Amino acid sequence: MNFKENLRKVSVWFLTRPNVTGFLIFLIMITILSFLVKLRYEVVRENEHREMSNIINVVRQNFEQVLKNSYTTTLTLAMTINDNGEPENFEEISAQLVNNNAAIDAVQLVPGGVIKYVYPFEENKAALNYDILNTPGIKEEAEKSIQTKLMFFAGPLQLKQGGIAVVGRLPIFKDNQFWGFSAVIIKIETLLKESGIQAIDDSKYYFQFSKKNPTTQKEEFFLPGKINLENKYYQTVTIPDGDWKLYLISRYNNNIFYQLYTSIILGLLLCMISALWITSILKKPAKLQLLIEKQTKKIVKREAEFRAIFTQAPVGIAKLDTNSGHFITVNKEYARIVGYTEEELLATDFQSITHPDDLEKDLNNMDKLKKGLISEFWLEKRYIHKSGRVVWVNLIVATLGKIGDAIENHIAIVEDITNKKRAEEELKQSFELVSEQNKRLLNFSFIVSHNLRSHTSNIELISSLLDGVKTKEEQDEMVDLLKQVSKSLDETLRNLNEVVNIRTNINLTIERLNLSHYIEKSKTLLNQQIINKEAIVKNLVPDYIEINYNAAYLESIVYNFMSNAIRYSHPNRKPIVTISYDETEKALIIADNGIGIDLKRYGDNLFGMYKTFNNNPDAKGIGLFITKNQIDAMGGKIKTESTINEGTIFTIYFK
């Protein structure tokens, strides 16, 4: 009873002193305003920080992409250097590299540190014979590249042929000896254009680009604009391939205060108005209801505006229960991204639509959020669309409401990045394809070089011996040897030509072929060998098995493996060749009981050109090599299992 009486007295005291009450209300609202301004300041600062981070990271990624393209260019250029240390087709290959890469202005080959080859020639001929390893201020970065055996980007520096550019140098080593550099030149204006710096709106921020001088160790800046960073708000990223530092600098130090200026003024006015309003209410109770109705309309209008923003936002927005993960509210865009209706989402939780491989990472972050270790987090994750397909999103999660120290709700904002992820995957696959093709080209060049060199050496030796013969018999003997070498050279060229045809034939005719039919056809072709060896060939492939394949390749593959199984039979038993098909693996299995192969000894060279592993005089080492290339060309693979004196199993997997 005393509490109620005291409460009534306090109420009466305030109601009878409207000016004092109004002043107290003003102080309370000033305190609240200060708190809100502080929160607003933190939000604006965080938004500015996030915006600057996004901008500078995009530019950094563009820089890295330019450097990756440059690395691919220098590596391709280095592959033109033959075993004698001389570049082949430099002009033609350089023209293709420069024309196909907008980020590269010129390329160079620098044997022994001296520039000897440049493209385009006219614009860069002034740099010819320039010795970079004996030029102070230039040699330091070049020597760094040699020491690390990695590509390094020097500069920006003044070019002999004019202009300022960065120079990427890849050291080339032949037989573990330094040969020189493969280099690209990227003019500073080209680098700025390709990095996207020039495309950034510079009304709020500007870029600065710096590097420590390798001689003076002082930081040098290369872009126009202020370089005095004192009292400036900026962010930096480091680009290690060139020891560069990229700055993104805010143009206006007090930009945040300018943004808050209006809010502070309005807040002060609101405090004063509120205080006067309370005073007026206490003085004029009759006007209270009208003012309440007016403020109610404003609140309803603002709520409607917020609802419109929530509903029409171009990103998915959802409010969720932090403890259970259940959806409380979702907008239409969120529902569209995951393919469910809003009603279906409100009946489930985010765990149910998250990809299983991403769920643990998501739940770990949510656990940190619930424990108060973080107030927000960001990640890329996958949802399972209602249709079953995978949807990639950028997810931002932040806390909303609390009960005491416990977080009650959080908000999730998602942006659909499925197309972006698909494009990244396609780019990765394209890069892997080009790398594999380059690897095959390099291996083939080694084969050609090795095989042709042995024949030409024999021809040269016989020719020199011909000069010293004295009798016709010796001369005839040398001519016969020359004919044999010539015949062997012709056979080698034919084999190499067949391999080239396999690797360059991109328009293979693919047909629906009956596998058992081609096995029977090969048995017919090998009938005489089967009779001579008293071989047993078991065709266990069902008649209904059909595959999509090139007819000529299939016939060659089946024939070669069957022929080898009969040819290399064990001398103490009749050969048995069993051919079957694994429908689950889509694989043809050819097993024999022959002499077998020592895979520990010969496994790495089993499908090499002219590689033989027995004393059979008919073995030439070309059949398995060509067959392996045909299988590779069709996108398949082959597995070998073998035990000496027991037999061999070849498993051919079709694509």
Q: Which two tokens stand for residue 60?
A: 């950094």
Q: Over 67-99, what HEC string results?
A: HHHHHHHHHHHHCCECCCCCECCHHHHHHHHHH
What's the rounded Cα separation, in Å, for the pair 306 and 312? 10
395 with 477, same domain: the answer is: no
What's the rounded Cα separation, in Å, for the pair 451 and 426? 38
134 with 232, same domain: the answer is: yes
What's the rounded Cα separation, in Å, for the pair 618 and 278? 110
User: What is the arithmetic mean of pLDDT over 363-379?
Assistant: 88
Query: What integer pLDDT is reported at residue 593 of this predicted model?
Result: 92
Cα distances (angstroms) measured from residue 62 to each of 69, 193, 242, 245, 641? 11, 10, 14, 14, 48
How many degrees, rounded to 5, is the angle at CA 511 between CA 505 and CA 516? 115
What's the rounded Cα separation, in Å, for the pair 468 and 464? 7
What's the rounded Cα separation, in Å, for the pair 478 and 474? 6
83 with 186, same domain: the answer is: yes
Q: Which of 286, 309, 332 is the last residue of a domain?
A: 309
Query: What integer pLDDT is reported at residue 60 of this predicted model?
Result: 81
**DSSP H helical ranges for 371-417:** none
Residues 458-490 pLDDT 10s: 676 677 777 666 677 777 777 777 776 666 566
User: What is the arithmetic mean of pLDDT over 563-575?
Assistant: 88
Q: Which of 416, 442, 467 is the last residue of a domain?
A: 416
Residues 61-106 pLDDT 10s: 887 888 888 888 888 888 888 888 888 888 888 888 888 888 888 9
CA dihedral over 99, 105, 111, 115, signed as positive or negative: positive
pTM: 0.37
Contact 651, 587 (CB under 8 A): yes
Residues 325-346 pLDDT 10s: 999 999 888 899 999 998 999 9
Query: What integer pLDDT is reported at residue 578 of this predicted model?
Result: 95
344 with 476, same domain: the answer is: no
What is the span of the domain harbouring residue 260? Answer: 2-50+254-309
Q: Has residue 507 got a pLDDT over 70?
A: no
Q: Which of 26, 594, 13, 571 is nearest to 273 (CA)?
A: 26
Residue with tokens 């001929």: 125
10 with 25, same domain: the answer is: yes
335 with 268, same domain: the answer is: no
pLDDT band, residue 446 (cuts 50/70/90) = very low
Look up residue 200 and give its DSSP letter.
S
Q: Has residue 132 got a pLDDT over 90?
A: no
82 with 196, same domain: the answer is: yes
- SS3 at position 406: strand
Q: Has residue 617 got a pLDDT over 80?
A: no
Query: What integer pLDDT is reported at residue 286 of this predicted model?
Result: 38
Query: What integer pLDDT is reported at residue 96 of this predicted model?
Result: 87
Instruction: Using CA atoms of 319, 322, 324, 326 in order, give the dihedral in degrees to the nearest 10.
Output: 10
Q: Which of 456, 465, 378 is nearest to 417 (CA)?
A: 378
Residues 509-549 pLDDT 10s: 788 999 999 899 888 888 888 888 899 999 999 999 999 98
Contact 612, 621 (CB under 8 A): yes
520 with 639, same domain: the answer is: yes
Output the domain CATH number for residue 519.
3.30.565.10
User: What is the arithmetic mean of pLDDT over 357-382?
Assistant: 89
Most confident of the ranges 1-15, 239-253, 292-306, 341-355: 341-355
488 with 545, same domain: the answer is: no
540 with 576, same domain: the answer is: yes
**DSSP structure string for 106-130:** EEEEEETTB--EEESHHHHGGGTT-
333: left (phi over 0), alpha (psi -120 to 50) or beta: alpha
219 with 286, same domain: the answer is: no
Residues 588-615 pLDDT 10s: 999 999 888 877 876 565 665 555 555 5
- SS3 at position 643: strand
Q: Which two tokens stand for residue 512?
A: 């629906």
320 with 197, same domain: the answer is: no
Query: What integer pLDDT is reported at residue 450 of this predicted model?
Result: 45
Q: Which of 416, 444, 461 is the last residue of a domain?
A: 416
Q: Cα 644 vs. chain centroid, distance in angstroms?
A: 44
Output the domain CATH number for residue 229.
3.30.450.20
Our count of domains for the chain comes to: 5
